[in-house]
Structure 1
Amino acid sequence: MQRTRGARTPALPALLLVGVLLVALNMRGPLVAVAPVVELVRDDLGVGAGTIGLLTSIPVLCFGLAAPFASLLIARTGVHRAVVASMAGVLAGTLLRSLGTEEAAIAGTVVIGLGITVGNIVVPVVIGRDFPGATNVVTAAYTATMNLGSTFTSALTAPLAAVVGWQLALASWGLMTVVAATVWTAALRRHVARAAAAGTTPPPPPAPVPGRSVWRRPVAWGLTAAFAGQSFAFYGTTAWLAVLLADEQGLSLEAAGVGSSLFQVLAVAGAFAIPALVSWWQRPYAVLLAVMALWFTLPVGLLAAPSLWVLWCSLAGVAQGGGITVIFIAIVRRSQGQTESRQLSAMVQGCGYSVGATGPLVVGAVHDATGGWTAPLLVILAAMTVMAVAGTASVGGRTPPVRREPGQVPAEEVQRG
């Protein structure tokens, strides 16, 4: 029996969309929670800068190195259960990190990184499968909400720590994870109940048709290279932008932090602008080129007209939010079915984040070797160039959406949750 149009009620996508956005709030917020209270953590735990650096670099390494294992977990548990497992990992890591010892802080950070890795891969699969008519818009909302989550966490952790201490301040973000998991579970239960009542549970999906591995698809390598360039540029810039502005413009670190804030916050505008541009131009490669034009203004502008740093940070902020969105949209558009979407997502993000994790180290090493910021900015510019070339060739032209596997929600997913 095929699914009927009535099988998908308006309430399901709405509730599921709320779940996606709540999950997105937990995809980056826990990673930046330590930064506002870093001095309190250092003093209380008696650790050095190296340990603090681990608390920010470990999750990004997990995004890359643990991606294949996350993909296997998703294949074994099912999509919806994988989302719950992701939130459980983030919650467990958040609580563990807040216990007040160096060992617990590092171990908790690893668990957070592993939990978010699963979420990174599974949410694009959910979006492509459960929102086939609104993939671009939901992807934009997802990536924008990730940035909002990090913004809220950065803004509120320090004031909260002043009242309850840094341990409870960090642990309190676990409440947001609990809410996300609860809403997600409620959406799934409603889906199962309505499908059973309507007698519209689809038949078991057909056996997968053997096909070429995503590792042998040129488009997969192109998207991987583009995402690697995006990640390297983003993390390299995030780590050193405030220091660069302080050195080059003579700003205090507090004033230089304004540039970093603009770079992060304006990503929301970039994420929401992408679907409109894709719908208007109908050419994702043209959208990517527009994004790259804005990205390039950061290194080029800081080299040519550094006094306009507010403008360059703002434009680059829009670009970095738009860059990750257009690549996530391309992962869904260029995949034929949820299995390939999961595999392609794991490949692109696994390799891309592995390269991105080296960004702060490489940019910092080049700065130390040259004693200035010209060479580091040229390194970031080179990463952006890789993204522009590889992405333009891979995100796709004026093509219709690819066909999906029979049955948007396979029976095994209804049973597994």
Structure 2
Amino acid sequence: MTAARPRSLPATGSPAVPAALLITAILLLALNLRGPLVAVTAVVDPIRADLGIDAATAGLLTSLPVLCFGLATPLASALLARVGLARGVLVALGVLFAGVVVRSLDGLPAAITGTVLLGLAITAGNVAIPVVIGRDLSRHAGAVLGAYTAALNVGSMLTLSLTVPIANATGWRVALASWGVLAVGSAAVWWWATRGPEPMPAPVPDGPATATPAAWWRRPVAWLLTAAFAGQAFAYYGVTAWLPQLLRDELAMPAATAGAAASIFQIAALGGAFGVPVLLRCTGPVPTVLVVCAAWTTVPLGFTFAPQLWAVWCVVGGFAQAGGLVAIFSLIVRVARDAAESRHFSALVQGGGYTVAAAAPPVLGAVHSATGGWTAPLLVVLAAIAVLAVAGVIATSGGRTATRPGPG
């Protein structure tokens, strides 16, 4: 019976487990896949003072996990292939809990070690969840993927809003370590939803392509989309890392208020996640990319010339940061000639883009330290958005964008 309908069953292969329970487990897991990383940005000042580090070094606490996203995907895929999706995610949550705790121990080496553990664990989650959704919830994949994307941003919003109040009462170490409770709760629900034997080995990303009409890596659109995603991801992780500090410096916000204000940038992403697929269908790829990039520019330009309107720039920029992600991955689907090429494009775009994005927090931190202000770092963000705009428009103009509709 399980062999006859493998895609309609939950991850355990047991029809007794409701789909709602698996969806709940996925959404709880998603809260852990960004929140622990952005929590650092809300308490960067006490971390720097306690550890005696400069802004560029502090930026490593948010950039190293992003580097893992780019470089550790093969390791995450190997883990999931060996132990299966259900056990692999449990292992990842265990590593994530260890990373949260180790990061809060004394000294910079512990902070760096814990940060790397977080990056490795979250990389495994990034790889596993889309596969789980496609395999076990295929009938509701679109809705679940939308909810999953929303939960990623909700996790960021929660940690940005609550880390500073917890830190004021207990100190930054306890505040960051407290998010390990969320990992434990997620692991418990995940185990309950995926208990029992797995029906088949995890279908992780495979090796080199064997049946594309021509070498996929020779297509210029693949590299253009990689450059576009690098600009998108660089801008997102740079702004996410330093927005609370910028609000404190430019508007004299208290730390707790700045953390809550920065969370608007994350929660406004829900508009982009659900709005850009509609925009793609109504206007086409090129206008969509231009709208997203125009919205993105309001962040560096708005905070440079009218920082008092910070809430507007956070809302519009939040739409843009999620919209850019949706637009690029929709374009991958549109220009790929078959499923195999789509997988290779996705791997190249994510690997290259996240590797570049890992440099954003330390680069912006170093520029801020060198100039003593935020104008120059914001100009760096504007340059990254320009890369997104130019590469994205060329890719959409020259790629085969009419063969298949984008997701959404």
The aligned residue for residue 145 of structure 1 is 151
> What are the Cα deviations for residues 75-125 of structure 1, in whole angstroms up to 9, with x where unaligned?
444444433332222112112223334432221111111111222233333
Once residues 121 and 369 of structure 2 are traced to their aligned partners in structure 1, the CA distance between those partners, rounded to angstroms, is: 34
Is 1:236 aligned to 2:242, yes or no?
Answer: no
Match of 1:198 in 2: none
Aligned to 1:349: 350
Distance 1:156 1:28 in 2: 14
Determine the C-alpha separation between the residues in 2 that align with 1:80 and 1:332.
27
Distance 2:346 2:324 in 1: 15
Q: SS state of the match for residue 230, structure 1? A: helix
Structure 1 pair 97–132 and aligned structure 2 pair: CA distance change class (3 A): same
* Structure 2 contact 38–160 (Cα < 8 Å) conserved: yes
Task: Give yes or no for the alignment of 1:22 onto 2:28.
Answer: yes
Determine whether 1:397 maps to 2:398.
Answer: no
Deviation for aligned residue 1:135: 4.0
For residue 49 of structure 1, the aligned residue among 50, 54, 58 is 54
Structure 1 residue matching 2:195: 3-state secondary structure: helix
The alpha-carbon distance between structure 1 residues 313 and 170, as it changes in their structure 2 partners (threshold 3 A), is closer
Which one is further off, 339-348 or 321-330? 339-348
Structure 2 alignment gaps of length 5 or more? 10-14
Residue aligning to 2:317: 316
Distance 1:6 1:348 in 2: 27
**CA displacement, residues 287-332 of structure 1 (integer Å, 9 cap, x when unaligned):** 4443223213333445665554432232111211222234345556
Q: Give the C-alpha shift of residue 228 in structure 1.
A: 0.6
Q: Where do 1:369-388 residues align within 5 Å?
A: 376-388=377-389
Consecutive unaligned residues in structure 1, runs of 5 or more: 196-200, 403-417
What secondary structure is seen at the aligned counterpart in 2 of 1:154? helix
1:176 offset after TM fit, Å? 1.6
| CA 371–348 in structure 1, closer or farther in 2 if over 3 Å, else same | same
Which runs of structure 2 are paired with 1:105-116 in the superposition (5 Å)?
Answer: 105-116=111-122
2:216 matches 1:210: no
Which amino acid in the other structure matches residue 137 of structure 1? Answer: A
Matching residue of 2:69: 63
Change (3 A) 1:376 1:287: same
Partner Cα distance (2:260, 2:131) in 1: 35
Aligned-partner Cα distance in 2 for 1:341–1:5: 23
Letter of the aligned partner of 1:262 in structure 2? Answer: I
> What is the TM-score of this pair, normalised by structure 1?
0.75
| Distance apart, 1:141 and its partner CA | 1.9
SS of the residue corresponding to residue 34 of structure 1 reads helix
8 Å contact kept, 2:133–2:144: yes
Partner residue in 2 for 1:408? none
Amino acid of the residue matched to residue 111 of structure 1?
A: L
1:4-403, aligned counterparts within 5 Å? 4=5, 7-8=8-9, 12-38=18-44, 40-41=46-47, 46-49=51-54, 52-189=58-195, 210-212=210-212, 215-241=217-243, 251-252=252-253, 260-277=262-279, 281=282, 283=284, 286-302=287-303, 308-329=309-330, 334=336, 344-364=345-365, 376-392=377-393, 393=395, 397-400=401-404
Cα deviation code 1:354-413 (max 9, x no counterpart): 1112223444555667776555444323322322343353597344479xxxxxxxxxxx
Letter in 2 for 1:384: I
Q: Is the 8 A contact 1:282 1:398 kept in 2?
A: no
CA contact (8 A) 1:141 1:272 kept: no
Decide whether the 8 Å contact of 1:98 with 1:167 is kept in 2: yes
SS at structure 1 position matched to 2:89? helix
**For each residue in 1:233-258, what CA deviation from the matched residue of structure 2 results, as whole angstroms up to 9, or x when unmatched?**
112323444555666x6645657667
**Distance of aligned partners of 1:101 and 1:81 in 2 relative to their CA distance in 1, 3 Å threshold:** same
Report Cα offsets for 1:182-238 as digits up to 9, x if no partner: 33333333785xx7xxxxx89x99x99723476455444333222211111112323
Contact 1:223 1:390 in 2 (8 A): yes
Closer/same/farther in 2, CA of residues 335 and 356 from structure 1, 3 Å limit: farther
Change (3 A) 1:130 1:362: same
Change (3 A) 1:366 1:162: closer
CA-atom RMSD in angstroms: 4.0
Is the CA contact (8 Å cut-off) linking 2:59 and 2:241 kept in structure 1? no
Indicate how the Cα distance of structure 1 residues 21 and 159 shifts in structure 2: closer, same or farther if over 3 A, else same.
same
Letter in 2 for 1:99: L
Q: Please, which moves more after superposition, 298-307 or 115-124?
A: 298-307
1:145, 1:268 within 8 Å by CA — same for their partners in 2? no
Secondary structure at 1:123 match in 2:
helix
Q: Judge conservation of contact 1:366–1:376 (CA < 8 Å) in 2.
A: yes
CA contact (8 A) 2:60 2:362 kept: no
Q: Distance in 1 between matches of 2:386 and 2:367?
A: 18
Deviates more, 1:328-337 or 1:178-187: 328-337
Aligned-pair identity in percent equals 50
Match of 1:412 in 2: none
